[in-house]
Chains A and B, each alone.
Chain A
């Protein structure tokens, strides 16, 4: 089966840095995605990793280690608007289908 695991909740203060971890066990691997989802809205694409290493995009960075089945999303200079659910998703052995974790609800306090 497929298993994507991430913490349920995290809190942080404005201006801080937060790291959201994701571990996965899937029958195949063809890329890992991070999405942001505000309450009642659609997931918004943040990042994509298919090779080991760090991908940086502004205040957001994502890291992947395929041998460890591990990824993290790093958010810097947190803002109130970053309060949202962050979804880790793995594309398995075939194109298209994504397996999602339950999401990590991040709350940013002033």
Chain B
């Protein structure tokens, strides 16, 4: 049973560039949430996708956008990168329902120079 997978593992970009991160949910899951985790901090919610639509959004600017595909996989796009965007980006998948426990992928470490 495949868990949550993310790609790439690491990424280095320069300010102003754009980046796309990818996530495949755990088998049987239909909901994908994205989090940003700065060093020494807890994860901060970016947004959640269900049925190919953004259902909830955290306090992140419009430079952060996403997409969910019919196979439930998802992408996170960040435009006009800033130094402060350097962080671990985590994808979590869940099955819409009463407990809705989220299972995290290994993350993508983004460094902006």
Contacts and interface: CB of A to CB of B under 8 A. Distances in A.
Contact of A45 (B45, B58, B103): B103
Interface residues of A, number: 25
Contacts of B35: 98, 100
B101 A48 contact: yes
Nearest to B42: A100
B26 to A, nearest CB: 11
B31 A42 contact: no
Given A33-B101, A45-B101, A91-B100, A98 B56 contact: no
A97 B42 contact: no
Nearest to B43: A100
B33 interface: yes
- Of the listed residues A95, A96, A98, A102, the one surrounded by the most CB atoms of chain B closer than 10 A to its CB is A96
Give the 7 A-B residue pairs with the shortest CB-CB distance, closest first: A100-B42, A42-B104, A96-B48, A43-B104, A102-B42, A42-B106, A100-B43
7 contacts: A31-B99, A40-B109, A42-B4, A45-B103, A48-B99, A87-B43, A98-B45
